[in-house]
Structure 1
Amino acid sequence: MSASSPTNTTIAALDSEGTIPAYVARPDADSSRAIIVIPEIFGVNAGIREKCDDWAAQGYLAVAPDIFWRFAPGIELDPDVEAEMNEALGYFGQFDADKGVRDIEAVIRWARGQGTNKVGAVGFCLGGKLAYMTAARTDIDASVGYYGVMIDQMLNESHAIAHPLLLHIPTNDHFVSPEAQAKMHDGLDPNPKVTLHDYDGLDHGFAATHGNRRNEAAAQLADGRTRAFFAEQLA
């Protein structure tokens, strides 16, 4: 299946806070399924847009919201450029995750208003954290997090996860310590709604679309698991 031309749009935030800029890629045919692609700390850059385009080519309505719209709208950064990595880390420090997950809830409502009846979310890095929070705090139908940060500090919310959640965990993630990973396994492995996959010896960002961080074999494996997960959970 191919995708139609992508567009940019704005989505009303909750409580009339403003409007969230978003990149939208639509399948050629109307779809009853949507995927929200939650960016890393680098904005809706070329890699995130390509992920949306790939989901649209598979028949999903795909949308990537600008999660930094409140204080750094429109940024597109390259993690392989040190200055841009440092800039992105600064934005991460400013980011309010509680507001961020409410923005994802607004995008869920927007997607359902587009005629979809099943909505999934897939997030990377900070977006992986937001995917976890979305699973715990919203009625999203299924969520996937790649190398989500700080999840070990939010395990007290895991009881609220109502729909399936898949997490991809590289064991050498320099942002998520082995101790944090152990806490995630201890807290989430018993939960029947949650599946964790470890990727031995790999670091943060291994499934990036482009750049030095990507590990081709592991990215293909994780992305294949994600595609199968959404095909089942959003059917």
Structure 2
Amino acid sequence: MGDFTPISTLDGDGSFDAYVARPEGESKAAIIVIQEIFGVNEGIRRKCDGWAKAGYVAYAPDLFWRLEPRVELDADVPEEFQTAIGLMQKFNQDQGIRDIEATITAARAAGAEKVGLVGYCLGGRMAFMAACRTDGDAFVGYYGVGIDGLLNEQHAIGKPVLLHVPTADHFVLPDAQKAMHEGLADNRHVTLFDYEGLDHGFAAEMGNRRDEAGAELADGRTADFFAQSLA
């Protein structure tokens, strides 16, 4: 359904690839799918294809293009998981936000009147950062890591944000989850949903991490959120 398309950087001094999936008919809204630490792999491309079937133009920018362009890794293969950790540690998140902003710009230039963003793992963190730093229209984060350390930026949030928080996330420990809930409780733009007993990666499209019931519940909430926020 989709293919890779070059996106110009904000500075115009280069370009990076984004997987783009388009609906059969016209669409007035776009959704940017922000990768995990495993690159724009089959699971992320399936996310895009699903949004295209729902009537959105979906983009998944290759955020690791400066490190290893078009890398695809499998979370269930230990060696590849370690490679992904290494890439994450080298990744410049501020540059990544600029690449996300460039993707928003490209989506609007292609005709999208509104642009939503949804990210997973590292992408969940980036979605929260984007809510604070970009002009997107709606933002969703699944099991975003380190959001408790970004709470001092939340004053800049002016559009709807939805966060999915699995309570047994071994990368986002209970103290961090508590800080998120307490720190965001008074922010009228932000909604958090807890998923009791579920772990990091529960909404992955494929592989051992997926929890079918949890994924369906969270994805349904995300679909409803975008249907309202991007209308």
Among the aligned pairs, what percent are the same residue? 61
In structure 1, the partner of 2:208 is 212
In structure 1, the partner of 2:218 is 222
| Pairwise CA RMSD | 0.7
Could you tell me which amino acid in structure 2 is paired with residue 70 of structure 1? R
Instruction: Give the one of 127, 130, 138 matched to 2:126.
Output: 130
Instruction: Give the one of 53, 59, 75 matched to 1:57.
Output: 53
In structure 1, the partner of 2:185 is 189
In structure 1, the partner of 2:164 is 168
Could you tell me which amino acid in structure 1 is paired with residue 220 of structure 2? G
Q: Please list every run of 5 or more consecutive structure 1 residues that lacks an aligned counterpart in the other structure.
A: none
Q: Hey, which bits of structure 1, 4+ residues long, moved more than 6 A? A: none
In structure 2, the partner of 1:9 is 5
CA distance in 2, matches of 1:16, 1:106: 10
In structure 2, the partner of 1:104 is 100
Spell out the pairing of 1:70-81 with structure 2 (5 A cutoff): 70-81=66-77
Instruction: Give the one of 30, 53, 60 matched to 2:26.
Output: 30
CA distance in 1, matches of 2:182, 2:97: 24
CA distance in 2, matches of 1:224, 1:93: 32
Task: Say which SS state the counterpart of residue 11 (structure 2) adopts.
Answer: helix
Could you tell me which amino acid in structure 2 is paired with residue 138 of structure 1? T
Q: Which moved more, 1:27-36 or 1:9-18?
A: 9-18
Could you tell me which amino acid in structure 1 is paired with residue 65 of structure 2? W
Task: Say which SS state the counterpart of residue 20 (structure 1) adopts.
Answer: strand
Instruction: Give the one of 26, 38, 44 matched to 1:42.
Output: 38
Is 1:85 matched with 2:81? yes
CA distance in 1, matches of 2:12, 2:4: 20
CA distance in 2, matches of 1:134, 1:72: 23
Q: How far does residue 17 in structure 1 lie from its aligned partner after superposition?
A: 4.1
TM-score (norm 1): 0.97
Could you tell me which amino acid in structure 2 is paired with residue 160 of structure 1? A
CA distance in 1, matches of 2:11, 2:25: 33
CA distance in 2, matches of 1:15, 1:227: 33
Q: Please list every run of 5 or more consecutive structure 2 residues that lacks an aligned counterpart in the other structure.
A: none
TM-score (norm 2): 0.99
